[in-house]
Structure formats: structure tokens, C-alpha cells
Copies of this chain bind each other. A is one copy, B any other.
Amino acid sequence: MQHFESDYLEGAHPAVLARLAETNLEKTEGYGTDKYCASAREKIKLACDCPQAEVHFLVGGTQTNATVIRALLRPYEGVIAANSGHISVHEAGAIEAGGHKVLTLPHQDGKLMPQTVAQYLETFYRDGNHEHMVFPGMVYISHPTEYGTLYTKEELTELHALCRMYDIPLYLDGARLAYALASKQTDVTLADIAKLCDIFYIGGTKCGALFGEAVVIPTPQRIPHFFTIIKQQGALLAKGRLLGVQFEALFQDGLYEKIGAHAIEMAELLKEGLHRKGYTFYLKSPTNQQFLTLENSRLEKLSEQVCYSFWESADENHTIIRLATSWATRKEDVEALLACL
């Protein structure tokens, strides 16, 4: 069987695991106050070109979204997100469990377009009734989006300007950030993100770590007592240094970039092969997730040889599926996959 169903099928990148093994018997303080976390923080701040930033380490994506959003919003506020956003659909109501509405807006290839947000905000404040409604308290975007697409620097700049105008924070979910940064069709750097977002996270789980996400807050003290909020959410790892060790490894010698670049190279190889074979792409994704529209009859046969992700039904006879590459995908895996298709 060829496995292309997701980008978190394996454990950690070998270099990351090696560091966990090397440091295993060291004794350190808990809860992220150790030297490895300190060092990882420094490396991340350097990579973000943001020396004053605050960096916190959490374990997983839904957890990070739930913690950050609860920390940022006031009771009368909700979070604006694309209706295809991870927090809107596939986090089991984690945001609402924290007391806040997800204010969903239509997406365009998975993206929350600046003009959509602008129109929503304008209408909201024009409506005389808005004091009876949930206030838009922040904007959530994912980059890459759930469809593998990317915001341009111009779009991010527009979203940033909108958020400034309405005085609400812009939060970027970077669960797959390595693949965004390494895309051949992006003009957005990590430093740009640190300049344009009020808070964001650099994904570890899907980008080479065993687990872990690094929350970056470019303006320190933007969230008072974030440490305690993390603890309250149950998101504070006792052996916090496990996260420090991993992120230190990921931001040593450009490993995070290499991980992203390799997955993108494999994805490009896959795209080329699929084009050659005449497959229909559901949309153009410049990152490691590719979406195909397939006839159902064909899909059935494919299932015998390939593990993919069911995405959604396109119509009665067609289905959209996802294929994903990662740091662990080998050239021969892609070739074997193409041979099956």
C-alpha cells in the first residue's frame, strides 16, 4: 500500500528524535523553564527576525487554537474564520467549549479573502442591532489553508491593515507552516508573518516533530499570564523540555526549511506526474497537500493500492480526495504511487 493520506504518519524527523535520545537522562526543571526551551526560543526569535517576541510551546494544534483564542477574546467576542477553517469544522467545538462563537465567512479556495472580512466588519458595525450580536474580536486564518493554498504577502498585509483598523488581533494557524514557507509560489517569509500577525504558531507535529507547536507573540505581554491560561487548558507539558529539545533541533542548521523543501519537491513531482496522466485537480495547491476530483468507480479500485484522505463528495459520481507528502516521503514512494494511478 502507498501511504499518502496525511503528513503525520511517521514519528519524528531522525535528527529530532536523536536529540531527544541524547538528552533523555538529563535532569531539568519542568514546564518550559529549562535551558532547551530557552535556546529554542532564541532560535525561533532569530528565524522570525523578531528579537522581542514571546515564544510558548504547546503540544497540539486544536489545543493551541483553543488556548490562544480563549486567551485573546473577551466574553462578548467571537473569532472570524473561513467556514472551511479547522476551528470551524474539525475541532469538535473546542472554541465554543471555551465560550466563543466562530463567526464563519465564505472561503475562496480555503482562504478568507480580505474583502470578505472587510465587508463583514463594515456591515456588522453599520447594523443598528449589533450590540445584540457577537462582536468580531479577532481574525483566524490558516497558512497553508486546509486546502493547501497560501495567502500572498499583499493579502496578509490587507488583513493586517483591516485588523489594525478595527483594533482586533490577526492570528495565523501554522500547523503546516514549513510547507508554506518552502512553497515555490509564495512571497511570504517567517519574518513577514511575525510583522503582519499579532500571534501565530509554527507547527511541529506535521512538520518533523514528534509533537509540538510553537506559539509566537511578536509583541511581548500581548496576552497577560498566558502561562497560566496554557496550564488551565491542560496544555502545559510537565516535561516541557521535550518541546524545547525538538524545536531547538528543528531550528538548528535550517532543518525546518529542509523539511518543508523536501515535501514540496515531492509534491511537485507528484503534481507533474498527475498532470501528465490527465488527472483533474480540484484546485491549484502550491504546497504539500494535493486535491483531486476522481470518478467514484475509479476510486474504488485505487483504494486497494493507495491510502488517501476522503475530502468530500463533488457530485453523485465524483469524489474529492487528498494526497499529502511530508519530510518522510521518498522519491520512490511518489513513483510507486504514480505507477498505481
A residues in contact (CB < 8 Å) with B? 3, 6, 8-12, 14, 17, 20-21, 23-28, 30-31, 59-67, 70-71, 74-76, 78, 89-94, 96-97, 99-102, 128-129, 131-135, 205-206, 210-211, 224-225, 227-229, 231-239, 242, 310, 328
Contact = CB atoms under 8 A, between A and B. Distances in A.
B27 A132 contact: no
Contact of A232 (B17, B21, B76): B76
10 contacts: A3-B27, A59-B59, A60-B236, A64-B234, A75-B232, A94-B232, A96-B96, A101-B102, A132-B231, A233-B234
Given A21-B17, A128-B310, A211-B238, A97 B232 contact: yes
Nearest to A2: B27
Name the 8 nearest CB pairs between A and B, nearest first: A63-B234, A11-B24, A9-B27, A93-B134, A92-B232, A92-B231, A76-B228, A96-B101
A194 to B, nearest CB: 24
A234 B94 contact: yes
A210 B129 CA distance: 23
Contacts of A60: 59, 234, 236-238
A228 B92 contact: yes
Contacts of A206: 238
A65 to B, nearest CB: 8
B67 A234 contact: yes
A269 to B, nearest CB: 19
Contacts of A231: 62, 91-92, 94, 131-132
A284 B74 CA distance: 40
A138 to B, nearest CB: 14
Contacts of A3: 27
Given A20-B11, A231-B92, A232-B75, A99 B101 contact: no
A31 B205 CA distance: 13
A90 B129 contact: yes
A12 B23 CA distance: 10
